């Protein structure tokens, strides 16, 4: 019996199902808002895409949350948190002044969120309750449209879709054969694909390769670039830049869906994180690829042991 079969067996046990149900019920109580289920959230995102109002759909990374919690609680930033926010999320430098400024900016931009994907990380409930209390919530997984029979992504059809993601070549290649990627053809409809490669400062790349003095300089450069692009909806995966960019896009009158790491999966590009994941055993097929070799940085192993590659 291989690892996948063992996990499948565990997952089907009544004890595991009870634990999962109890875990979610216990943690959901910490959030003041109602939490939309998969059907409800796909319908809601459909409505957001079809109306003419600016929109921000987002998530908050775990490393970012640790910095926000430290700032909110007036705690000293630990060396561990400084290390992970730089290596995993790309924030630099990591002196106290920069991290304070980072936290303030994020708290401000979080208030722009219309729909927040939650995954029950520490301090996430405080952020949701105090800084975006009027936002709707859903379990983070529900933002991934390929898990729905009626995916919100169908309503990208005929729009100008800006994909902000490092894997621009891999995504372009896969989109050219979009009809072969999903059984449900509504997951990835025909639209005008526009791409923008975000500045990458994670996994030590900030000090080795970047021309920018700080994370804020890099963010400002991307905001100026994006403002010049003609698009209707942006789908974003850009480390710690993702949430602030999504808020900026809403502020300039457009729609932003900050999916984070799952963005590559929408285009049939998978990494180690997903290849043996039971939820994807019926989704990933022979037409999917791993990111092209020239889109794998030399320090990729520092980022979750190359989990995106």
Q: Which residues contact 147 (CB under 8 A, 6 or more apart)?
A: 38, 141, 279
Split at pLDDT 50, 70, 90, the class of 181 is: very high
State residue 166's pLDDT score. 96
C-alpha neighbours within 13 Å on the C-beta side of residue 2 = 3
Whether this prediction's pTM lies above 0.85 is answered by yes
Whether residue 123 is predicted with pLDDT greater than 60 in this model: the reply is: yes
Split at pLDDT 50, 70, 90, the class of 174 is: very high
Question: Do the beta carbons of residue 137 and residue 116 sit within 8 Å?
Answer: yes
Average pLDDT over residues 48-62: 98
State residue 27's pLDDT score. 74
Question: Do the beta carbons of residue 81 and residue 89 sit within 8 Å?
Answer: no
Average pLDDT over residues 159-168: 98
Joined tokens for residue 62: 């775990």
Whether residue 208 is predicted with pLDDT greater than 80 in this model: the reply is: no
pLDDT in tens, 294-309: 998 777 666 666 688 8
104 and 13 in a common domain: no
Split at pLDDT 50, 70, 90, the class of 18 is: low
Dihedral sign from CA coordinates of 152, 30, 120, 241: positive
What three-state secondary structure class fits 149? coil
From 145, 185, 160, 162, select the one nearest 45 (Cα to Cα).
145
pLDDT in tens, 252-294: 999 999 999 999 999 999 999 898 889 999 999 999 999 999 9
In a domain, 50, yes or no: yes
In a domain, 8, yes or no: yes
Average pLDDT over residues 82-101: 95
Average pLDDT over residues 15-44: 77
State residue 276's pLDDT score. 85
237 and 189 in a common domain: yes
Average pLDDT over residues 185-201: 96
260 and 226 in a common domain: yes
pLDDT in tens, 109-122: 999 999 999 999 99
Q: Which one is predicted more confidently, 27 or 279?
A: 279
124 and 21 in a common domain: no
State residue 176's pLDDT score. 98
What is the residue-averaged pLDDT of the chain?
91
155 and 12 in a common domain: no
In a domain, 166, yes or no: yes
Whether residue 204 is predicted with pLDDT greater than 80 in this model: the reply is: no
Whether residue 179 is predicted with pLDDT greater than 90 in this model: the reply is: yes
260 and 151 in a common domain: yes
24 and 48 in a common domain: no
13 and 107 in a common domain: no
85 and 103 in a common domain: yes
90 and 107 in a common domain: yes
In a domain, 309, yes or no: no
Whether residue 52 is predicted with pLDDT greater than 90 in this model: the reply is: yes
136 and 123 in a common domain: yes
What three-state secondary structure class fits 235? strand
In a domain, 308, yes or no: no
In a domain, 54, yes or no: yes
State residue 36's pLDDT score. 98
**Which residues face 192 on adjacent strands?**
160
84 and 21 in a common domain: no
In a domain, 307, yes or no: no
Separation CA 206–CA 4 (nearest Å): 37
State residue 205's pLDDT score. 62
Whether residue 26 is predicted with pLDDT greater than 60 in this model: the reply is: no
State residue 206's pLDDT score. 56
Task: Show the domain range for 167.
Answer: 35-302
Residue 159 vs residues 64, 193, 294: alpha-carbon distances, Å: 31, 9, 29
State residue 211's pLDDT score. 83
Whether residue 11 is predicted with pLDDT greater than 60 in this model: the reply is: no
pLDDT in tens, 126-152: 999 999 999 999 999 999 999 999 999
State residue 127's pLDDT score. 98
Structural domain count of the chain: 2
Average pLDDT over residues 32-43: 96
Average pLDDT over residues 204-211: 63
State residue 297's pLDDT score. 75
In a domain, 178, yes or no: yes
């Amino acid at each position: 019996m291989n690892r996948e079969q063992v996990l499948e067996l565990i997952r089907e046990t009544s004890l595991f199902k009870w634990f999962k149900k109890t875990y979610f019920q216990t943690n959901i109580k910490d959030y003041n808002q109602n939490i939309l289920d998969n059907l409800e959230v796909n319908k809601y995102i459909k409505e957001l895409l079809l109306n003419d109002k600016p929109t921000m759909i987002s998530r908050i990374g775990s490393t970012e949350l640790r910095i926000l919690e430290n700032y909110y609680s007036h705690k000293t930033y630990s060396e561990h948190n400084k290390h992970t926010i730089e290596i995993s999320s790309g924030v630099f430098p990591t002196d106290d002044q920069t991290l304070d400024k980072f936290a303030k900016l994020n708290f401000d931009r979080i208030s722009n969120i219309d729909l927040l994907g939650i995954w029950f990380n520490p301090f996430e409930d405080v952020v949701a309750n105090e800084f975006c209390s009027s936002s709707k919530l859903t379990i983070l997984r529900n933002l991934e449209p390929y898990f729905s029979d009626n995916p919100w992504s169908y309503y990208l059809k005929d729009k100008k879709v800006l994909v902000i993601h490092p894997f621009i070549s891999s995504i372009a290649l896969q989109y050219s054969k979009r009809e072969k990627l999903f059984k449900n053809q509504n997951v990835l409809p025909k639209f005008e694909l526009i791409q923008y490669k975000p500045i990458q400062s994670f996994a030590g790349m900030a000090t080795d390769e970047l021309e920018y003095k700080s994370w804020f300089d890099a963010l400002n450069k991307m905001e100026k670039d994006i403002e010049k692009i003609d698009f209707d909806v942006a789908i974003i995966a850009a480390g710690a830049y993702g949430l602030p960019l999504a808020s900026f896009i809403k502020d300039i009158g457009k729609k932003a869906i900050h999916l984070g790491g799952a963005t590559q999966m929408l285009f049939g590009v998978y990494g180690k994180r997903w290849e043996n994941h039971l939820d994807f055993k019926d989704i990933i097929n022979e037409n999917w690829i791993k990111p092209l070799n020239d889109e794998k940085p030399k320090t990729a192993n520092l980022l979750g042991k190359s989990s995106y590659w």
